[in-house]
Structure 1
């Protein structure tokens, strides 16, 4: 990892990282961003502890704490790492992470499989609508394939037999939690559960729309909010951001 990295974005699986790219491209105009992706071989087990250990190896060469950020299961990895290695984390930004951090879209999928007499394909079709909104048929088919692969790659080992949970609570460093008001997976109550853990410097913010992958559909709006949160720590780069933001609003 480059020693001048400001932000490390954590992706929970290879297939989902495509939805992070627009946001990362935006914030990389103002800060040095490095993307870390969790992956494991088919013959290996997967777990969030393994992901955190791999993250620790990745950050071993960094001489300074970094800002961690992630969406969904990637955010759960970032949260777990921040609790375990607080000296390595300057701040934490969580997108679409519930106050019970393990409650990602996989839980939604497995609950539907258990509660309703629906096929795997029918449940995945429903998940596409909940995660991305209504999509054309061909796009929906492509997204179903992506979600199917994510079920196999995630470090959160949910299954039809058992839904896991992760420890709840806050972190010692400044934290921002973001969500979308029309996200049925991590809805407003699930986000606001964080408030009882907040410190004075922490922040909760919801964008009006965008479903579960709101950062993919509205990267500039989400990116601006993240940059504003980081502003006290990076005055020079944030001065450029402020000047650009003012020119866009004038």
Structure 2
């Protein structure tokens, strides 16, 4: 029986340090926005990219993605550190809750506890409410998702978003409005959340929502002036923060009493 779903695992470095990072990538078109951070992380870890692919017009579910991801991680000799942005982070978080023995740590970029808060769902809301063309809405959305300091990125992003909507895993399109549960930090997996201070998609109240489930060893950082794709504008700083977190897992800080500095801070450039 043919399997319509497929994935590809691309190793980004040749050396194999002890810690292994798996970048979950359900929207390969947008990986160019994550690539610089992944390259910087590869200086300290063995970084691999798990890229999900599917046939056009093919229905898909989170369960299908989890099954394929589990096949990859079961084959690994040790648990891996998962990293994901947006809906990729949402699916990775649900996976870590379901299979904690396969995940050493979890890093989420621009992820809210509210699973409806993704750029694609905001696009669909705009499309249903505004009497504007698709191109005009995507251009407006791009100006909200990216810093105005990157005019070239704002110019290119509408084309990337359009391709992603047509071909890749997006809530409200490929997944056919299926219900995705809201998130909590996985009970058995150290979790690091980085959200942008000026993110149009994940509002600033996400810190309060996440704080209800943060445990000892977890951390929340608000990136100063960061928008939804802050990892592109602040790649060096983001890579440093992720590296510091992963290097502390496991560590004595996980077992000590939680302080306010462990789970919320404002990252300044």
Q: What's the TM-score once normalised by structure 1's chain length?
A: 0.85
2:83 match: secondary structure = strand
Runs of 4+ aligned residues of structure 1 deviating over 6 Å after TM superposition are none
* 1:166-185 superposed matches below 5 A: 166-172=181-187, 173-185=189-201
Q: Of residues 58, 65, 74 in structure 2, which corresponds to 1:44?
A: 58
Cα contact 1:97–1:191 (8 A) shared by 2: no
- What is the CA distance between 1:142 and its match in structure 2? 2.7
Point out where structure 2 has 5 or more consecutive residues left out of the alignment. 1-8, 252-269
Pairwise mapping of residues 72-111 of structure 1 onto structure 2 (< 5 A)? 72-111=86-125
Deviation (angstroms), 1:10: 0.5
Instruction: State the 1:141 CA deviation.
Output: 4.5
Once the two structures are superposed, the pairs formed by residues 15-164 of structure 1 within 5 Å of their partners are 15-134=29-148, 136=151, 139-159=153-173, 162=177, 164=179
Preserved CA contact (<8 Å) 2:113 2:182: no
Cα deviations across residues 50-78 of structure 1 (Å, max 9, x unaligned)? Answer: 11111112222111111111100110121
How far the C-alpha of 1:175 sits from its partner, in A, is: 0.5
Work out whether residues 101 and 168 of structure 1, in 8 Å CA contact, stay in contact via their aligned partners in 2: yes
- How far did 1:139 drift? 5.0
Instruction: Give the Cα–Cα distance (whole angstroms) in 2 for the partners of residues 46 and 80 of structure 1.
Output: 16
Q: Specify the alignment match of 2:226 in structure 1.
A: 210
Q: Tell me whether 44-53 or 179-188 shows the greater mean CA deviation.
A: 44-53
Question: Gapped runs of 5+ residues in structure 1?
Answer: 236-250
What is the CA distance between 1:86 and its match in structure 2?
0.8
Q: Which has the higher contact order (CA 8 A, sep 6+)?
A: 1
Cross-structure match for 1:247? none
Moved more, 120-129 or 167-176: 167-176
User: Within 2, Cα distance between the matches of 1:43 and 1:124?
Assistant: 21
Query: What is the CA–CA distance in structure 2 between the aligned matches of 1:106 and 1:191, rounded to whole Å?
Result: 21
- TM-score after normalising by structure 2: 0.79
Name the Cα RMSD after superposition. 2.2
- Whole-Å Cα distance in 1 between the matches of residues 52 and 94 of structure 2? 14
Cα distance, 1:152 vs structure 2: 2.6
